[in-house]
Chain A
């Protein structure tokens, strides 16, 4: 039945069939004889680069093991956190005994409105002129997927440029959408910083009108962000080349502690007249990870165009999953729609951001105190959940094997996994493998 297996079957079908039928007769379960499984050629897929680390960490028996793999926030005791504003919102929802009716295909409209306000700013011209097409999505990944599918269908070119490196899953999502991911220079290994000249050159050399993925803030995995001035220059090149700016904003508020500051690039581009795409996630900044809360938006030319685009979002979404999950979106809109809860939430986001900034400082201080001769400035100059340490794959393996410290092989560590309790040991481990 399956192509590669069929060839074998032609050679010896009769005799094989006879023996299978003979065996089947004595089996209790009467399975229709087939020459081989339909899926015989299904290969073992590769383990996920990021989530595979968690597996290895779980298996490790060492008490003081440290997990710096997946990017979920942990408090200073190393425990998952449910934000108090989220707990409050969820309690209110439980008390109000809402029904569980389907959301519309593009989600809960109150949620998408408030999500857009948060990203673009309530005073944004595109919101005032009602020309933002927006749909609720299955968190940030879902937004990327809908965006990818939309580009595939409506954008003249199916190429999309990703920064080198980018989140491991970006290429997979875009490829599955039918796009061709290529890269632009981003991270400079030598300086452990931004390769700005390379970035600009690659954007200039790309064909006019190419889609370009931009991490709005707290670049994943490097933590290296362009400065506001560099963003302005990027905007100029994108404009000159007619490129399509496709923003991924997974850390608004979570990077610097300020919603406005983290949305600078997005809002600047919009002000400059770019018609951007934006993927938004509430996984980290609201700690809603598993509830899958996100949004995808496109700036349209007019509210008439916005309506057309939204109708197309529905066409894309319906065959994938019909409509998005309500629970997390309701929590998010409860918080964003209540002035007091929102203020409380903003303070909580700042607390998370501050803790990570503090851990960065502690790590650097400890490394320096140990007498490391390496330059660790990047630990504090980088921003957000992740730090690109500059460690090699071999050094990362040694961290895991000798020190029970787990991170991805590109040397990316999750700052959220650092605590005041483990930072000293972590610094020692990093120092030992890198000296």
Chain B
């Protein structure tokens, strides 16, 4: 007999999606989950992905055979080049263990499970705030979570001095530090290059283990290399770190669950041992990762034309996001909405941390059918030419009237 399990409150982001779906209002707006939308408010299949799928399925050798435990080799190799660079010295040194994972969550989980087993410290430092699911991922892996200052509500930017202070004075050698490679989720606030360089110094000095989560490479600025700056800077200065890579957003592959984990070891001998340990972990959970999404990515990265198309698709998405940021800001400024709105444009990526209070957010949901998380996070992809003005007006109303 199974002991009667209690019911648990639903995951807040998925719960929000549920509410949005049930809402019958014509002008409802989904600013909740982070999936790109076209200007028509629809999911967008990237042209490179459409072309690659057709090509793959037309290939006579196409089948559904098992991938290796570590995934599709062409995929993991080219994925590692995307993140570390085509001519990466690190990759040439054979010190990287690259495993295909069930998207970014799978990579976070596998990386955490590995560190939980083999790292001296079981403490991981995460930014305040961070993606909600990070807490669950790390708890499940039996890591102890500590929080470092990140979001400054006063400036609506990075709480830089407090961040440095915490790392310098409260961390212990061996502690793991979670870093969002670019387009910080949920705030959209990224360190500057100068700040990344200082962070790297501190992390070295304090002997912390960098755990990068890269869910938006290319999606943030439109440029893959620009968005990989922090990781590549660290790659030249840190012998050991890991990177979680997701192709959910930058290839629009969301539900195909296409990701990778790259663990960098000090020597290639250790890296090969790490490979076998990752195999054991992966085998005991999923046996091998899902093939379809990986085949699409591999095909695109291997073909110069498709690759170029992808780079254009990235610019399409990131440019529209940037435009919505600019437009939203200018509407709020026209309305003379109390407060400053520069942060909307200073922040980057899918999300903006508006600074709206839970009360204001609640009213937006209940009265205006504008769906956003209670922490004030909006998905910029949910804005479009048809709704940005009315959303600005609604924000203006709640800022003026609601606490």
Contact = CB atoms under 8 A, between A and B. Distances in A.
Contact of A1 (B140, B173, B274): B173
Interface in B46-100: 49-50, 53-54, 57, 62-69, 89
The 3 lowest CB-CB distance pairs between A and B, nearest first, are A45-B276, A290-B291, A321-B102
Contacts of A242: 1
28 contacts: A32-B204, A38-B174, A38-B209, A41-B118, A48-B283, A70-B66, A80-B63, A97-B45, A100-B254, A101-B35, A101-B254, A102-B35, A138-B287, A145-B286, A154-B5, A169-B287, A289-B66, A290-B65, A291-B290, A292-B290, A292-B291, A308-B7, A312-B5, A319-B133, A319-B137, A322-B133, A323-B255, A324-B257
A290 B2 contact: no
A39 B10 contact: no
B109 A321 contact: yes
B373 to A, nearest CB: 16
Nearest to B280: A45
A208 B239 CA distance: 52
Interface in B164-183: 173-174
B34 to A, nearest CB: 10
A325 B62 contact: no
Nearest to A43: B273
A42 B291 CA distance: 29
Nearest to A324: B257
A101 B140 CA distance: 26
B292 A44 contact: no
B64 A287 contact: yes
Given A45-B273, A45-B276, A37 B240 contact: yes
A265 interface: no
A38 B292 contact: no
A283 B286 CA distance: 12
Contact of B255 (A1, A100, A156, A315): A100
Contact of B284 (A38, A154, A175): A175
B105 interface: yes
Contacts of B286: 138-139, 141-142, 145, 292, 321
Chain B interface SS verdict (over half): loop
B290 A90 contact: no
Contacts of A275: 1-2
B402 interface: no
B288 interface: yes
Contacts of A319: 105, 109, 133, 136-137, 139-140
Interface string A294-337: 00001000000101110110110011111111111000000000
B385 to A, nearest CB: 21
B173 A101 contact: no
Interface residues of B, number: 83
A38 B271 CA distance: 11
A173 B277 CA distance: 14
A10 interface: no
B293 interface: yes
A16 interface: no
B236 to A, nearest CB: 6
B14 A104 contact: yes
B106 A321 contact: yes
Given A82-B63, A314-B10, A322 B2 contact: no
A322 B119 CA distance: 25
Interface stretch (B146-154, B262-270, B392-400): B262-270
A31 interface: yes
A402 B209 CA distance: 50
Contacts of B35: 101-102
A99 to B, nearest CB: 4
Interface of A: 1-3, 6, 29-32, 34, 36-48, 51, 70, 72, 80-82, 86, 90-91, 94, 97, 99-105, 138-139, 141-142, 145, 151, 153-156, 169, 172-173, 175-176, 209, 242, 244, 275, 283, 287-292, 298, 305, 307-309, 311-312, 314-315, 318-328
B270 A42 contact: yes
B64 A31 contact: no
Contacts of A315: 8
A39 B283 contact: no
Contact of B291 (A44, A72, A291): A291
Point out which of B11, B35, B53, B137 has the most chain A C-beta atoms below 10 A from its C-beta. B11
Given A31-B239, A292-B290, A38 B273 contact: no
Contacts of B265: 37, 39
Contacts of A156: 1, 3
Given A42-B118, A155-B2, A288 B274 contact: no
A275 B105 CA distance: 32
B288 A290 contact: yes
A38 B272 CA distance: 14
A39 B275 CA distance: 12
A29 B89 contact: yes
B285 interface: yes
Contact of A327 (B209, B279, B285, B290): B290
B287 A328 contact: no
A87 to B, nearest CB: 9
Contact of B7 (A154, A307, A327): A307
Given A3-B120, A139-B286, A318-B136, A289 B64 contact: yes
B207 interface: yes
A29 B120 contact: no
Contacts of A30: 236-237
B289 A309 contact: no
Given A39-B274, A100-B252, A102-B255, A173 B285 contact: yes
B292 A244 contact: no
B363 to A, nearest CB: 27
Contacts of A155: 2-3
A394 to B, nearest CB: 26
Contacts of A43: 273, 277
B377 interface: no
B267 A37 contact: yes
Nearest to A55: B68
B215 to A, nearest CB: 12
A141 B102 CA distance: 14
Contacts of B106: 320-322
A102 B254 contact: yes
B59 to A, nearest CB: 11
B69 A48 contact: yes
Interface string B1-43: 1111111101100100000000000000000010100000011
Interface string B347-370: 000000000000000000000000
Point out which of B33, B63, B174, B272 has the most chain A C-beta atoms below 10 A from its C-beta. B63
Given A154-B5, A283-B66, 17 more contacts: A29-B89, A42-B270, A44-B276, A156-B3, A169-B287, A172-B283, A173-B285, A176-B284, A314-B14, A319-B105, A319-B133, A320-B105, A321-B257, A322-B103, A322-B105, A327-B290, A327-B293
